[in-house]
Structure 1
Amino acid sequence: MGQYIHGQTLIQAFENWAPKKLAFENDKIGLQIGTLNKKVKKVMVTLDVLENVADEAIEKNVDLIFAHHAVIFRPLKDIRADSGQGKIISKLIQNDIAVYVAHTNLDVAEGGINDMLAQKLGLTNSQILKPTYTEPLYKLSVFVPESHAAQVREALGSAGAGAIGNYSHCTFNIQGTGTFLPEEGTNPYIGEKGKLEQVSEVRVETIVPESLLNRTVNKMISSHPYEEVAYDVYPLDNQGKTFGLGRIGELPEAVTLKELAENVKERLDLDGVRVTGDLDSKVKKIAVSGGDGNSLIPFAKYKGADVIITGDVYYHTAHDALLHQLNVIDAGHHIEKVVKEGAKQYFEEVIQSSGCYDTTVIASSANTNPFIFI
């Protein structure tokens, strides 16, 4: 029997990278077809799920398709096996191929689509272009006997609590006296039933992001010697990590807009790009967005970008960009195909770390770009 990773395990690991809470409201993400409750021998990563992708998955005995764009985006009136989306869905169901979708949550995530593009294009000092989500922070306070304070502090830090800037394991400690009276049915670590106890304790405080709160509390409790652990959790007004759409960074040195367009075409393996602006103008500060970049034009201009590279720009939006002296390179929505390489690498790392070495990950070779350059 091979060592294959379970579908739920694989996706749970992925959602630590790009949690669903980062997705935009009403975005169609998550499991769309089939089940994750199975061992996965082969994963295929794709940008889109079209019929040629489904056929490729069947031919290559794929168990799970990971896609950036949803196979089911609008409500379906029917699922016919002989036409339209129904044909794709029927093929996948008949061959027990699950489809999991990560869209705007993977656009926004750190290391996601936009970071992949920024890296491909050689941008430095990359930052978020448009913030969309700030993670809530919590203060966790726990009361622990002095003899076990170091042990509990280590558990908190190893769970990821106490990270402030480039510092980890940050806590504040106050010594005091704890009192308690063990009653019938208890098995106290310290003290006797029916006798009021006074114990030298330490109040350990630390800061925890929402995404790590449950794990931190569980690790803290498991490391604590008491049968019943006294702790408090407080929501904070402090701002946690910020996530968002697009990225803005700099090229190592200024180039002409024409040179940049040619470089984009080469680095992203494109047949062509559309450009607005003076081709001879020098550009250095670059904004990038994988999908529809129309709403990001004002943010790119406000943050001082010389040019925005994106997947879709409307005709009149291009006019607006020209009026604001912002150059545009419309490289087509298909530039998001960088997901195939990036997600494949991530899943391979998860599989290796889990010890399930027999599960394989492949990138779809099917062409899903609907446009042909003549």
Structure 2
Amino acid sequence: MSVHLADVITALDAAYPPSLAEDWDSVGLVCGDPADPVGRVLFAVDPTAAVVDEALAWGAQALVVHHPLLLRGVDTVGAHTPKGALVHKLIKAGCALFTAHTNADSADPGVSDALAAALGLTVTGVLDPVPAPAVDKWVVMVPAHATSAVQSALFAAGAGQLGEYSECSWRVAGTGQFRPLTGANPTLGEVGRIESVAEDRLELVARRSLRSAVLAALRAAHPYEEPAFDIIELASTRADCGLGRVGELPAPETLRAFTERVRAGLPQTVWGVRSAGDPEAVVRKVAVCGGAGDSFLPTVTRLGVDVYVTADLRHHVVDEHLRAGGPAVVDVAHWASEFPWCAQARDVVERLGGVETRISTVRTDPWTVGGYGGGSNAYG
């Protein structure tokens, strides 16, 4: 069976749900026709001109990247603009462009899981977890003869979804009792007389955002004039999704040795790998965050990790962090910290079968010349 761009999009959206993307982000299909067949897919961190040229030279029908080409609002993609020129080149060659950015950062597994794996860490938690969607538990009393119809209506409204399972519910039989008062128009029984009915207690969950839709479906399908039901707001839980990861090394080692581990695990760049902290300090518990992660320095201090690996760290920020008693830090190139994700995303698409994949050989790290000062932590 041939694979189409729509199949690739479905697979990537399942692995990196667009709902996890930050509000300011731009993810998903940038250009391309979902109905087009796809035989070759190239993966890269950045959609630079060199990467686009590589994709087209190889004959790719899709280019999957981490960083968006069109992040901020634009009013033209004319070929006279640098970004517009790339869009035109891709479209003319029949190559789609797809972006998985902050949704890939927060997915499970995501960018930081790939970084942790490259460093040989066993992931034990999320640095900045995303709370699971708010969920209601619905308890509905239904006359036994109408249970199936009410249940189907609630499922159609989106209730009964548990992870990768749908149409989940629980029921138990019992006896309902009521006395219709003057003005009531009962489906069963008579005004002024107590009525006992064989009923089912139906329980199921639904996202809180679906509450209005589920309530409307309940009222439309339930045979009673005044259906009896409870809506219970379930306690918030922490998901396995979110930015950054916390993990452990197979065995304790010095910061100096760990810095070499990071250097060996990531692609070489002019930026290099540098650490701040006592070189002989022993580390075991590690936090990582692909991309620029200086905003989580207070978090890693609170979590009590021994060392934190991220990118784009600045002089004063690191100095103040260490003075405040924070853990050692290892600073790497932004591109290098996110490059391991390319293999992870490639594996997602390869599972479709019938698609040839490749990771871009272009180093899109922008730094080209390194300055070599003194000391053991000079660029390498």
TM-score normalized with structure 2 length: 0.75
Change (3 A) 1:101 1:235: farther
Report the Cα distance in structure 1 between the residues aligned to 2:261 and 2:207, rounded to whole angstroms: 39
- 1:347 matched to 2:349: yes
Report if aligned partners of 2:247, 2:286 keep a CA contact under 8 Å in 1: yes
Distance 1:256 1:139, change over 3 A: same
> Deviations for 1:135-182, whole angstroms, at most 9, x for unmatched residues?
2213245677869989x79x98xx98457xxxxx67353434699xxx
Structure with max Cα Rg: 2
Is this contact kept in 1: 2:138–2:232, CA < 8 A? no
- State the AA in 1 paired with 2:99: V
Q: Is the 8 A contact 1:145 1:199 kept in 2?
A: yes
Distance 1:120 1:228, change over 3 A: same
What is aligned with 2:12?
A: 14
Question: Secondary structure, in 3 states, of the residue corresponding to 1:361?
Answer: strand
SS at 2:132 equivalent: strand
Do the aligned residues in 2 keep the contact of 1:178 with 1:201 (CA within 8 Å)?
no
Secondary structure at the aligned position of 1:12 is classed as helix
Find out whether 1:360 has 2:356 as its counterpart: yes
CA contact (8 A) 1:162 1:170 kept: no
Contact 2:115 2:341 in 1 (8 A): no
Q: 1:171 aligns to what?
A: 170
Go from structure 1 to structure 2 and tell me whether the alpha carbon gap of 1:80 and 1:147 turns closer, same or farther (over 3 Å shift). Answer: closer
Q: What is the deviation of 1:124?
A: 2.7
C-alpha separation in 2, matches of 1:73 and 1:40: 25
**In the alignment, which of 34, 37, 42 is matched to residue 35 of structure 2?**
37
**In the alignment, which residue of structure 2 is the partner of 1:332?**
333
3-state SS of 1:305 partner: coil
Structure 2: which amino acid aligns with 1:275?
Answer: S
2:318 paired with 1:321: no
Aligned mate of 1:62, from 50, 56, 60: 60
TM-aligned CA distance change 1:196 to 1:77, over 3 Å? closer
* Length, aligned pairs only: 333
Question: Where does 1:250-269 land on structure 2 (aligned, <5 Å)?
Answer: 250-269=248-267
Question: 1:120, CA displacement in angstroms?
Answer: 2.5
Q: Secondary structure at the match of 1:138?
A: strand
- Give yes or no for the alignment of 1:236 onto 2:227: no
* Unaligned ranges ≥5, structure 2: 179-186, 190-195, 371-380
Structure 1 consecutive aligned stretches of length 4 or more whose deviation exceeds 6 Å? 142-150, 195-199, 229-233
The structure-2 alpha-carbon separation of the partners of 1:73 and 1:125, relative to structure 1 and needing over 3 Å to count, comes to closer
Residue aligned with 2:14, SS? helix
Distance 1:118 1:210 in 2: 34
1:73 maps to: 71
User: Aligned to 1:40, what secondary structure does the other structure show?
Assistant: coil
- 1:288-308 deviations in whole A, cap 9, x for unaligned? 000111101000001001111
Q: Distance in 2 between matches of 1:160 and 1:362?
A: 39
Q: Call closer, same or farther: CA 1:65–1:234 in 2, change over 3 Å.
A: farther
Counterpart secondary structure, 1:44: strand
Alpha-carbon contact 1:137-1:240 (below 8 Å) kept: no
- Unpaired runs of 5+ residues, structure 1, are 164-168, 180-194, 222-226, 352-356
Between the aligned partners of 1:142 and 1:360, the Cα distance in structure 2 is: 51
What is the identity percentage for the equivalent residue pairs of Structure 1 and Structure 2? Answer: 30
Please give the root-mean-square deviation of Cα atoms over the aligned residues, in Å.
Answer: 3.6
TM, length-normalised to structure 1: 0.76
SS in 2 for 1:74: coil
8 Å contact kept, 2:173–2:198: no
Equivalences for 1:178-257 in 2 at 5 Å? 200-208=198-206, 234=231, 236-242=233-239, 243-257=241-255
Q: 1:133 to 1:97 in 2, by over 3 A?
A: farther
Rounded Cα–Cα distance in structure 2 between residues aligned with 1:116 and 1:209: 30
Aligned to 1:52: 50
| Letter paired with 1:322 | L
Q: Deviations over 1:6-65 (max 9, x none)?
A: 323332332233222211121121222233233322222211101111111111221221
Q: Deviations over 1:250-282 (max 9, x none)?
A: 222211011001111112233430211111111
